[in-house]
């Protein structure tokens, strides 16, 4: 039964994602906000189906830590779930992602049109320059910037190598950092067909102000972020 319900969800996901992506594309000429409404509706629809078909609910903790001003969100990356959830977790934002994702029909095209920062992994120096330039521009426009510091999804219970891009951006843009942990990989595994019933908890950790970002050495701050995010992730069962 679990396999059947997961199959139904996966089929709905594969149908609805291109459909909502097309709506994002079609409404983009009417402004970012018009497209953003469809992105948020996609997120809500997918999680409604995830609850109805797979018995997975979500809880959001730490909302009190969210600042009033745009900031850099550094989030654990285990699953497609946090990617889907992001529009209902944080205010309008841009992602920092690998540029190859723009090649995905409809979904990738929608990402590109929404101002996503697509970096080329082959040139780390150029990638950092792009993150700083484009990320600072987005923050100045009032958009939040979301980055997965591990760069790619890690299996539940494991840790990828944390990259300094988000910390460098926050430092250069004089922005704060909002860390986020979750246990999505335990229920919606990396490349996993089966979606296990349970509760996905997205937990925002204490906000690090711009003043604190500038007062702590980047290497030490990155180590602290990794320690805090991974510790909270393990506590949640991720």
Taking only the tens place, the pLDDT of each residue in 63-115 is 999 999 999 999 999 999 999 999 999 999 999 998 999 999 999 999 999 99
pTM for the whole structure:
0.94
User: With bands split at pLDDT 50, 70 and 90, how would you rate the model's confidence at 11?
Assistant: very high
Pairwise pLDDT comparison (124 vs 233), residue with the higher score = 233
Give me the pLDDT at residue 123, please.
76
Give me the pLDDT at residue 121, please.
75
**Can you say whether residue 36 is alpha, beta or left, with left for phi > 0 and alpha for psi between -120 and 50 degrees?**
alpha
CA distance 202 to 131: 25
Among 192, 193, 187, 213, which residue's Cα sits nearest to residue 74? 213
Sequence-separated contacts (24+) of 158-164 with Cβ below 8 Å: 159/226, 159/230, 160/77, 162/222, 162/225, 162/226, 164/218, 164/219, 164/222
For the record, the structure tokens of 43 come out as: 């997120």
Q: Phi, psi at residue 131, to the nearest 5°?
A: -60, -45
Contact predicate 170/210, CB 8 Å: yes
CA distance 59 to 71: 22
CA distance 94 to 145: 5
C-alpha 31 chain-centroid distance? 22
Contact predicate 72/176, CB 8 Å: yes
Taking only the tens place, the pLDDT of each residue in 35-65 is 999 999 999 999 999 999 999 999 999 999 9
Among 173, 154, 169, 175, which residue's Cα sits nearest to residue 226? 154
**With 80 as the cut, is the pLDDT of residue 145 above it?**
yes
Query: CB under 8 Å to 172, separation ≥6 — which residues?
Result: 132, 136
User: With bands split at pLDDT 50, 70 and 90, how would you rate the model's confidence at 122?
Assistant: confident
Options 3.40.1130.10, 3.90.550.10, 3.30.465.10, 3.60.20.40; CATH of 56-236:
3.40.1130.10
Q: Where in the chain are the domains?
A: 56-236
């Amino acid at each position: 039964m679990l396999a059947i319900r997961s199959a139904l969800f996966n089929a709905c996901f594969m149908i609805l994602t291109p459909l909502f992506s097309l709506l994002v594309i079609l409404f983009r000429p009417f402004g970012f906000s018009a497209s953003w409404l469809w992105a948020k509706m996609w997120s809500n629809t997918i999680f409604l189906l995830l609850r109805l078909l797979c018995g997975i609910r979500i809880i959001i903790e730490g909302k009190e830590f969210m600042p009033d001003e745009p900031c850099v969100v550094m989030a654990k990356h285990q699953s497609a779930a946090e990617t889907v959830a992001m529009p209902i977790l944080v205010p309008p934002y841009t992602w920092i992602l690998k540029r190859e994702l723009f090649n995905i029909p409809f979904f990738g095209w929608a990402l590109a049109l929404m101002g996503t920062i697509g970096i080329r992994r082959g040139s780390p120096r150029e990638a950092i320059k792009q993150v700083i330039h484009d990320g600072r521009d987005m923050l100045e426009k009032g958009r939040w910037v979301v980055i997965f510091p591990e760069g790619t999804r890690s299996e539940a219970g494991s840790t990828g190598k944390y990259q300094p891009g988000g910390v460098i951006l926050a430092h250069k843009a004089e922005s704060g950092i909002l860390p986020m942990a979750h246990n999505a990989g335990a229920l919606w595994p990396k490349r996993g067909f089966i979606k296990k019933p349970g509760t996905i908890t997205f937990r925002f950790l204490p906000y690090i102000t711009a003043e604190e970002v500038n007062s702590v050495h980047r290497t030490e701050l990155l180590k602290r972020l990794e320690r805090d995010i991974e510790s909270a992730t393990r506590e949640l069962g991720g």
